[in-house]
Amino acid sequence: MSGYKRVLLKLSGEALMGDDAYGINRATIVKMVEDIAQVARSGVQVAIVIGGGNIFRGVAGGAVGMDRATADYMGMLATVMNSLALADAMRHAGLLARVMSAISIDQVVESYVRPKALQYLEEGKLVIFAGGTGNPFFTTDTAAALRAAEIGAEVMLKATKVDGIYTADPASDPAATRYTSISFDEAIVKRLQVMDATAFALCRDQGLPIRVFSIFKPGALLRVVQGESEGTLVHL
């Protein structure tokens, strides 16, 4: 049904809150899993990176006087919690998922080992990469770009709160218009804040296209994987 054999899906941590003030909204996670199940059952190999902004955002902690690196480690641990919640929801939906963490917490979750991740994907299991890159001063978008490159994903799919990349942040500028496609260089030069420059640059250097689309739009993920025009494509 689609040209893609292997994709890396980045899910917004903040979107997991649904209409709640923080944490994980059950209905939201169940809906996300239904969308992922459709794609996985069509035979596409899916690896996932989920953020942690719904539980903890390092930059915000830094702003109130906390040591930035410590705050970032808390953010990485938040992504482990989200990954476990997501894997559990997948199990309920009858999907086989494995969580692999960039930070060793052996009693809780398996550590990231690249060949093992590749093996799981080939076996048709969903792989959730937790713990970000394992380093402070990075984001889960960068972790997603890194893992996408490592596993040879054909595209990085960023499912977020907005339905694509806009000329300015649509949350603060109602006059902003959406790009159907944009080059990496233009996205970096224009400092479009939808992703950080490190993540954009890594994808650009690896020739890895990114598609940004809405996490809330029903069926959007399937349409993206089928190669239909949805959201914004970032290309070389």
Ligand X SMILES: Nc1ncnc2c1ncn2[C@@H]1O[C@H](COP(=O)(O)OP(=O)(O)O)[C@@H](O)[C@H]1O
Among 4, 166, 184, 213, which residue sits at the site for ligand X (rule: CB under 6 A)?
166
177 appears as a binding residue in the annotation: no
CA distance 143 to 137: 11
- Residue 72: which residues within 8 A CB-CB, separation 6 or more? 58, 136, 137, 138
134 appears as a binding residue in the annotation: yes
Among 4, 8, 13, 86, which residue sits at the site for ligand X (rule: CB under 6 A)?
13
CA distance 148 to 24: 25
Q: Among ligand UDP, ligand X, none, what binds residue 55 when CB lies within 5 to 8 Å by partner kind? A: none
SS3 10: strand
In the complex with ligand UDP, the residue whose CB is nearer, 72 or 230, is: 72
232-235 and 210-214 strand pairing: antiparallel
* Residue 129 binds to ligand X (criterion: CB under 6 A): no
- Please list the helix, strand and coil fractions of the chain in percent, rounded to the nearest 5, in that order: 40, 20, 40
In the complex with ligand X, the residue whose CB is nearer, 20 or 122, is: 20
Q: Tokens 């902003």 belong to which residue?
A: 176
Number of residues interacting with ligand X: please give it, by CB under 6 A: 18
Contact, 47 vs 6, CB < 8 A?
Answer: yes
Among 7, 12, 127, 184, which residue sits at the site for ligand X (rule: CB under 6 A)?
12
Q: Among ligand X, ligand UDP, none, what binds residue 171 when CB lies within 5 to 8 Å by partner kind? A: ligand X
Dihedral, CA atoms, 218, 142, 156, 148, nearest 10 degrees?
-130
Q: Among ligand X, ligand UDP, none, what binds residue 194 when CB lies within 5 to 8 Å by partner kind? A: ligand X
104 appears as a binding residue in the annotation: no
Binding residues for ligand X (CB under 6 A): 12-14, 51, 53, 141, 160-162, 165-166, 168-171, 192-194
